[in-house]
Amino acid sequence: MNWFTRLNKCLFGLILPATLWAQGNEPNATLAEYKKSYPDFNELIVNETRSYNLSIVKNKLEILQDNYQESMILAEPGIHHNEESFSYSDLIKVRSYEAYTAINANGREKKIKVTQANEKKYRNDGVFYDDIMEKQLIFPNLEIGARKIYRYQAEFTDPFLLHHFVFANGIPVKKAVFEVVADRDIEIGYKVFNDKQNLISFEKSEKKGKTIYRWTANNISPVKFEAGNPGMLYQVPHVNVYIKQYKIENNAHTVLDDTPKLYAYYQGFVKDLNKTADPQLEALAREVTAGKTTDPDKVKAVFYWVKDNIKYIAFENGYEGFIPREAAKVLERKFGDCKDMASIITAMCGYAGVKGVSLAWIGTREIPYSYDELATPSVDNHMIAAYKNGDNYVFLDATDKETRFGLPSAFIQGKEAMVDTGNGYQIVRVPTVPAPANSAEEKVTLKIEGERLVGSGKSSYNGHSRSHYLLQLGDATGKQRFEMVKSLVLKGSNKFQLGQYTEENLTDRDLPYVINYDFVLDNYLVKVDNELYVNLFLDRYFENSNLEPDRVSSFEFDFLNGQHTTYEMALPAGYKVQHVPADAGIDNALLKAEMTYRQENGKLSLDVSFQLKKMLIEPADFALWNDTIKKLKTIYNETIILTKKP
């Protein structure tokens, strides 16, 4: 279920918000003034405004959204950005649109209408089919100083689906306005997020029986897109609005305001799900759980069967983005989206006689809100099943094919789930899996041959480390898989040559994924006269994770990972150990690391362990994080010295 993504496309379009339909153009500064104010940019959004008009028309609630965007080309490269677009669907219908290029012709404005407007299905690699359409506008006659202007009006068919307005874009914005104009009998709610610098000004007024809510921001810097960013909504100022209630002929109609109302809305989509008995599904459930004597084992068997036999394909069309399909239909098709997988898991567990397996709505980690902060569909974009085992919940997300029973998928860790208990709901926080449960364990055995290292290794990946790497490897075979495994176990430098390798436990989710391999590492040792220099840090974890000093957004890891590696090197004949670096360690709020050397029985070993303590490295953590990486680099440079015996 891709609710948030779908709404984001339809309400943002593929653009960011835009100036009131009825407002017309505001007086513009001259091109020279704009180029002076924005010297480093090829284009400037002069105005962008979105306006919701909420009114009662013929005893029905009408929701219209007017969008306007006006941008100016400031430099030659901007001319090549001649396309803008907006999106719509069965739930958000476009009523009308207008688009043109405005140029200066002998001191007068000349409008050149957009005649090339392509309509096509919106392409989303994660969705097999949905109903979102995209209108692409190709602006003609662009030149420096030209303005691209377009506006469109959309009608919302569902009062629960108003969405946010973001006061930011990939290029600078001179002015952005978000407005809600509501009839007196329509009550709205709103929440402002990420405006610590008070960028957004707000005013509320009344005019001719209408209440007008307006949020305005000026001179907005471009969004800085940075690797590892947890999501734009964690960073940029934005406003979420929702309708609380409206009256028609003195009859109040409740929409949204709190979690019970959101749950009631969701219940409308699932209350009749899987009510009709299906003998085929029941027989399958009993077959899959045959021989299982405990409820957890039965749930696990069903969960793994769905992962292995129902292919995840997002297939959305209108309210199909909200309504799970019947479990019998999912079984017949052998594919489905997250809602469908949750549907068949709960149905099969019911047929197997297990109680306490329920549907659950949840937002992935790209969504920053909790239910208390924002009880609207904006808080959710995913559906899973949840099994209550005693006082604890097991979260069953079959869209992540590799994650074992008992672990939540990595992308919902720490998030709140709304679990349907049958006669109500419970808000449950999904736990964050600790680093030791996601550990990668490795034993590397080494020997020196001339100036190269020859070795063998065994790597074992548990928890989310297992899932992460197996999902990356996928179904690759032959040379492609060889190269992917090589990149996974690579040691020392690009002189690393992978030899033979084998893999274990590819299909058993309850066991670690294991790679056994051998390798040669050429030109790694340094020999000076009678001394041989060896650095046993063949893996330098986090070495390239330094955060740039001008970074704005937090940095997010996929999961808390642990790493334990032992490098064991046989001392070459005729050499003795002259110098071994001191043991080292780091332990702070972000990372724990330990490095220990040991010498015995003609072997020298280095034991290295890491535990990441925070998935989200926030700006307040940047100084500590970079200091940690600096210390790690110093430790990594420590070298063993071997000397020839006399």
Pairing of strands 164-166, 238-248: antiparallel
* Phi, psi torsion values for 438, nearest 5 degrees: -110, 25
**What digits encode the pLDDT tens for the residues 602-631?**
999 999 999 999 999 999 999 999 999 999
Q: Using 70 as the pLDDT threshold, list the residues of the chain that sit under it.
A: 1-28, 121-131, 315-320
Whether 280 and 380 share a structural domain: yes
Pick from 184, 179, 85: nearest CA to 136: 85
Percent helix, strand and coil across the chain, each rounded to 5?
A: 20, 40, 35
Burial class (CB in 10 A: 0-12, 13-18, 19+), 493: exposed
Pick from 67, 39, 36: nearest CA to 51: 67
Domain boundary among 233, 256, 279: 256
Domain boundary among 381, 396, 429: 429
Pick from 391, 407, 273, 403: nearest CA to 339: 273
Q: How many CB atoms lie within 10 A of CB 425?
A: 23
The CATH number assigned to the domain holding 71 equals 2.60.40.3140
Whether 241 and 270 share a structural domain: no
Please give the Cα distance from 261 to 452 (Å, whole number).
68
DSSP strands (E only) in 476-628: 496-504, 513-521, 526-528, 531-534, 555-556, 562-570, 575-579, 584-587, 591-600, 603-612, 616-617
The CATH number assigned to the domain holding 359 equals 3.10.620.30
Whether 379 and 528 share a structural domain: no
pLDDT for 7: 38
pLDDT for 316: 56
Whether 608 and 529 share a structural domain: yes
Q: Does residue 574 come out as left (phi exceeding 0), alpha (psi in the -120 to 50 range) or beta?
A: left
Tell me the residue range of the domain where 465 lies.
436-644
3 state SS of 396: strand
* Phi, psi torsion values for 637, nearest 5 degrees: -80, -5
* Phi, psi torsion values for 217, nearest 5 degrees: -140, 145
Whether 418 and 456 share a structural domain: no
User: Is the torsion defined by CA of 138, 172, 3, 345 positive or negative?
Assistant: positive
Whether 94 and 214 share a structural domain: yes
Domain count, the chain: 3
Whether 339 and 268 share a structural domain: yes
Whether 374 and 490 share a structural domain: no
Whether 423 and 452 share a structural domain: no
pLDDT for 6: 40
Whether 314 and 281 share a structural domain: yes
The CATH number assigned to the domain holding 626 equals 2.60.120.1130
Pick from 474, 467, 477, 464: nearest CA to 431: 464
Whether 36 and 177 share a structural domain: yes
pLDDT for 317: 57
Q: What is the largest CA-CA distance in the chain?
A: 104
Whether 424 and 441 share a structural domain: no
Domain boundary among 256, 282, 317: 256
CB neighbour burial string for 139-148, b if at least 16 within 10 angstroms, e if fewer: beebeebbbb
pLDDT for 28: 57
CB 91 within 8 A of CB 58: no
* Phi, psi torsion values for 256, nearest 5 degrees: -130, 155
pLDDT, averaged across the chain: 92
